[in-house]
A and B are shown apart, each in its own frame.
Chain A
Amino acid sequence: MNNDARKIESMVIAAALYLLAIFFAYRLPFWFSHPLLIWADQSVYLAMADLVLHGQKPYIDFFDFNPPLIIYLNVIPVWLSAVLKQPIILMFDCFVYAVTAVSLCLTAIQVYLNRNTASKSTLLFLLFVPLLCTQTMLFNFGQREHLFVLAYFPFMLMRVLRATEDGIRPPALLSLVTGLFAAVGLALKPQFLVTALIVELALFIECRRAKRGDIWRTSNELTSAAAFIVLYICAFAIFLHDGFVEFFSQSLPLYLHGSKFYRIGFIESLMSLRDFSAIYYCLCAALIAFFVSRKSLYSYIFLVFALVSLVSYLQAGTIYSYRAIPVLSGSYMVLLVALAQFMEKILSGFRTRVAFVVLLILSSTFYCYSQAMNCRFDPSLGEEVSLDLTEIGYPQIGKIQAVSPVLEVILKNSKPSDSVLFLSEGVRPGFPATLQSKRQSASRYLHGMIMPMLLMSIPYNRPKYSAMLQKVVDDYGRDIAAQKPALIFVDQQYIEPLLAQYHFISRYMADYERLTSLEQLRMIVYKRKAEAGGSAP
């Protein structure tokens, strides 16, 4: 290695470390200045993790229809919150950043090991994928798809490096850890596993063509990932046997039939203003991949990943934008590969490269600094509200954003020891408000998705699902009698007409009086009467 090359290498390593550090840190002030900021799904799994820590069993003591790993994964921030006496939401944010850091470290080690290979510039750009995935998230920060991409990316990179001609074979420990880390992401949802299998198939075909067939024989990462997934399924079946039976006999069939309630049309899923950016990114990525990096193996594999994720997103066809996260992330990967190749072409010579690195450092520093300074107010989070949160353990921070009207009603009309009940048609608006207010959910049905899903499932098996609906209504009634929630929120559009068929309000809510209605959310709020033990206004 000549002197210039050494200088460039040291400069690039120093610059990369500096850029990684500032890009990792610049969003932290935003999350610290928004201590209540969390969205529905993430918060309900934290609440479920809390129940698990208190000895309850998923699917038996409380209901859900997702595989259990996400609940157990959320035990970590909940436990840390209890030990460190910090708010759960803050601990969750730190947990997601920790996952990002692990993903970044595993990627960085691979990039460092391959620093003298032909694809070093591409790898250098790919180093920023975990950060790009995390720092561009707002509403979907910490969603399962986000965690999956973070966990799977170092693994996918390792697999691609193994399939390249000059890729350095990773140390056994690194590949074991990478495999285990990826397995956690893959086990979160079945479709993640399918995506990974198709990517493996693409690699298999590629290796057959290039006559490199040994990437499966000595792949510790593959072995450890497979072993973890098998162990996870066995543990679920053995240690959570009743839940396992309940999950496959009740929850899963219900989900398969009932999730149609949340389906949207093809045009909407493709073009509605909220979601379509991911598809555009994917098209851009495909376009640029064919333009610039047709010959790159990285580009090919990442494009396959993005396209398989796109199919998965469209196949689900639901209103949830987080399902497009892998599409977006795959597109970022392809675009970064193309950018690396483009930069390599145009930046020739020592001085040009130095100038580019200096420019990059200056502009990045300026960007990160300005973002960190202006982190207190984000227009997409709505208006700022003054709330006293010291009662529930948050530090006094003056005005805050991302406060739903539900949270304000809960804080004004209940005590921290009270429980609340949401009879709604989704996870929102019960969550994140219940978690933010540190109240307990008064029912084993933490979210209200079950009732509309049962309604959708009835045509498939009338006796089974009608009986199940009756049981759910009775369960809600029993929970009200037992838990005596301070507040009950009832959805006016779907749930109230349904409950009226069972005379629910007259049968189970005699001790409650109408407090207010939240027009925007189409919810009526009932409060426990003072003579029945409700708190005074």
Chain B
Amino acid sequence: MTPLEALRFDCAERVLHGARPYVDFWDWSQPFAYAVYMPAVIISGWFKSILGGSGGCSSYECGRFALNFFSSLIMALSLAFSSLVLRKWPEASQSVWPRSLALTGAIALAALVCFKQAGDLQFAFVLTLLPWLLMRFSQNEYGLTFKNILVSITLLAGCGIALDAPFALVLIVGEVYFLLTYGRKAFAPMLYISLALIQVGQLALFSALFRESVEAYRTWIMPMRLSKWFYFDSGLLGTSCPDSSGFLYLFAATMAVAAFCCRGKDASIGRLIGLIATVCVAGFALFMSEGEGLSSDLVIAKFMLVVLMMLCFWALLRLWSPRRPVYKSLASAGLVGALVAGTAACGMIEVRSACTTASMVERLTGPGEQIAVFAQYPDAAYPLLNVLNRQNGSYLLWSRPMRMLCDYQYQQPLPETMFNFQTFLMNKIASQFTTRTASLILIERHQSGLMTFFRLNNALISNYENVGVCTIEGEPYCTYRFEVWRRK
């Protein structure tokens, strides 16, 4: 599991066990994100009852299988819908079957390249977005209608947008492209209303189920999420990981080639390349706006870039060898595909150097015990806690708000809602320290000063003792260093 997968899996599990999001635990994902992970949690439960009973499968492994199973299901759904759309392309457009096949292959390849982040929200979103984009392209380019699958694709895209608020911007960029390219005929009010209704529906359902969480989300989570767009973590200065420069070089080269291909004689493929390039740029802009350089933020851009590369390759082949038999083109495309897939497979092999946290946690606590991790990113705690079969014993599943609240106060007094949140948060943390809920507390280097700033030091020192330091490797700091505090 990736850190964010493991975190949301944990959140979904808590919600299924009756916890209220944002009130009983803190994470700033959209409520719908937890709903998406719930099927995986349920499937994981089934796996556990089938496999775990024989002692062959841990909770973590069952969860991982379930997530991969669920991700593969979404992937298959996306591919199926994309293929159904592509199948309807008219015969008049040249060599329709190899093009459809190549595009489906490109989508599958892109999914494979990004499969390392298979359970992350961006991956799920991009899979739901693609059938929508292809459908809208086919509607505008070839005037096709999709009576049977229109509702399913719209529903899928609507669910995709609901996963995270900024995702809507990517879809909007795609729609702007259609409007600017095809004019008024591209305007589809009914589809837009349907998408909006899906958002309203899921929010209404959430409000009905978790009344207190809605208020907490509105007053605490949303302002903090919005302010995060203008916040740069100074701890990132001087770090060299993760280094996605290789992606960016490829991005620049592919964009240049895409700009060239857009000007080709085959206007139809030029417009499709333009569309995918536009969405790829929007995905990269999203990565930039997140401002953390995490691999999980790069999935949309990476996915679209692979599709774009394949499309450009196809367009170039047609340009330079128009008379070449189709199977040769397909074979060449296959070769490039194999190369990309090979590169992706190499990237999936994880090389981790030894970290001392796991051994420290295993030495000082037993399975099922609670551990509180104060770190700027969830990567420090997840999936480590799941692997070690320990519980996250803090209201803050990851403690970004502490740093943000502290930084905001250097400039000006906090707004009332944020101040209220801070008061609630500090009381909650102090009471957790006093009641000694967690057996072990790990405080990351970038967070340790905050205990003094928020006057939590007394509660910490009176109930816990410092027993040393440990490290763990992960994004985006490369190495996290922790102070380890054990319950007295």
State the A residues within 8 Å of B (CB): 202, 205-206, 209, 264-268, 270-273, 276, 279-280, 283, 286-287, 289-292, 294-295, 297, 299-300, 303-304, 307-308, 310-311, 314-315, 317
Contact = CB atoms under 8 A, between A and B. Distances in A.
B415 interface: no
Contact of B274 (A205, A270, A294, A314): A294
B191 interface: no
Contact of B256 (A202, A280, A290, A317): A202
B270 interface: yes
Contact of B255 (A206, A270, A273, A303): A303
B203 interface: no
Contact of A287 (B237, B238, B278): B278
Interface string B239-250: 111111100110
Contacts of B293: 266-267, 270-271
B225 interface: no
Given A279-B288, A283-B288, A294-B274, A300 B260 contact: yes
Given A286-B277, A290-B177, A290-B274, A280 B260 contact: no
A311 B263 contact: no
B383 interface: no
A221 B243 CA distance: 40
A307 B285 CA distance: 15
Contact of B232 (A202, A205, A273, A304): A273
19 contacts: A202-B260, A209-B319, A264-B237, A265-B238, A266-B243, A267-B239, A268-B238, A270-B288, A272-B237, A287-B285, A290-B281, A291-B180, A300-B262, A307-B255, A307-B256, A308-B256, A310-B252, A311-B253, A317-B245
B236 interface: yes
A287 to B, nearest CB: 5
A264 B281 contact: no
Contact of A265 (B177, B239, B270): B239
Interface centre among B249, B263, B476 (most CB of A within 10 A): B263
Contacts of A295: 262-263
B260 A206 contact: yes
B281 A287 contact: yes
Contacts of A202: 256, 260
Contacts of B103: none
Is the interface on chain B under 10, 10 to 19, 20 to 34, or 35 or more residues? 35 or more
A310 B252 CA distance: 8
B262 A307 contact: no
A291 B278 contact: yes
A129 B216 CA distance: 50
B292 interface: yes
B256 A283 contact: no
Nearest to B265: A209
A303 B282 contact: no
B176 interface: yes
A280 B249 contact: no
B270 A294 contact: yes
B249 A314 contact: yes
Contacts of B73: none
Interface centre among B232, B282, B292 (most CB of A within 10 A): B232
Interface centre among A265, A268, A289, A308 (most CB of B within 10 A): A265
B281 A303 contact: no
A76 B350 CA distance: 57
B134 to A, nearest CB: 17
Given A268-B237, A311-B252, A283 B180 contact: no
Interface in B161-190: 173, 176-177, 180-181
Nearest to B294: A267
Contacts of A310: 248, 252
A303 B248 CA distance: 15
A271 B281 contact: no
A299 B242 CA distance: 32
A280 B476 CA distance: 21
Contacts of B248: 270, 310-311, 314
Cβ-closest 10 pairs across A and B: A267-B293, A307-B252, A294-B262, A265-B240, A266-B243, A290-B274, A300-B259, A290-B278, A304-B256, A287-B281
A8 B450 CA distance: 66
Given A270-B293, A271-B232, A290-B274, A314 B260 contact: no
A294 B182 CA distance: 13
B288 A280 contact: yes
B307 to A, nearest CB: 14
A264 B236 CA distance: 10
Contacts of B253: 307, 311
Contacts of A294: 259, 262-263, 270-271, 274
A183 B122 CA distance: 46
Nearest to A292: B180
Given A267-B292, A290-B277, 7 more contacts: A265-B237, A271-B236, A276-B288, A280-B285, A290-B281, A295-B263, A300-B263
Interface centre among B238, B259, B288, B292 (most CB of A within 10 A): B259
Nearest to A279: B288
A493 to B, nearest CB: 14
A276 B281 CA distance: 15
Contact of B245 (A276, A290, A314): A314
Contact of A299 (B255, B259, B270, B288): B259
Interface centre among A279, A289, A292, A317 (most CB of B within 10 A): A289
A206 B259 CA distance: 11
B176 A291 contact: yes
B398 interface: no
A382 B8 CA distance: 46
A289 B281 CA distance: 11
B284 interface: yes
A317 B249 CA distance: 13
B291 interface: yes
Nearest to B478: A265
Contacts of A289: 259
Contacts of B236: 265, 267-268, 271-272
Given A271-B293, A280-B288, A307-B255, A286 B249 contact: no
B241 A265 contact: yes
B232 A272 contact: yes
A276 B258 CA distance: 24
B272 to A, nearest CB: 11
A157 B274 CA distance: 24
Contact of A308 (B241, B252, B281): B252
Contacts of A279: 288
A266 B247 CA distance: 11
Contacts of B288: 270-271, 276, 279-280, 283
Contacts of B259: 289-290, 294, 299-300, 303-304
Contacts of A304: 256, 259
A267 B247 CA distance: 13
Contacts of B270: 294
A265 B238 CA distance: 6
Interface in B110-168: none
A194 to B, nearest CB: 13
Contact of A264 (B180, B238, B252): B238
B177 A291 contact: yes
A294 B245 CA distance: 26
Contacts of A273: 232
A522 to B, nearest CB: 17
Contact of A283 (B245, B284, B292, B476): B284
B278 to A, nearest CB: 5
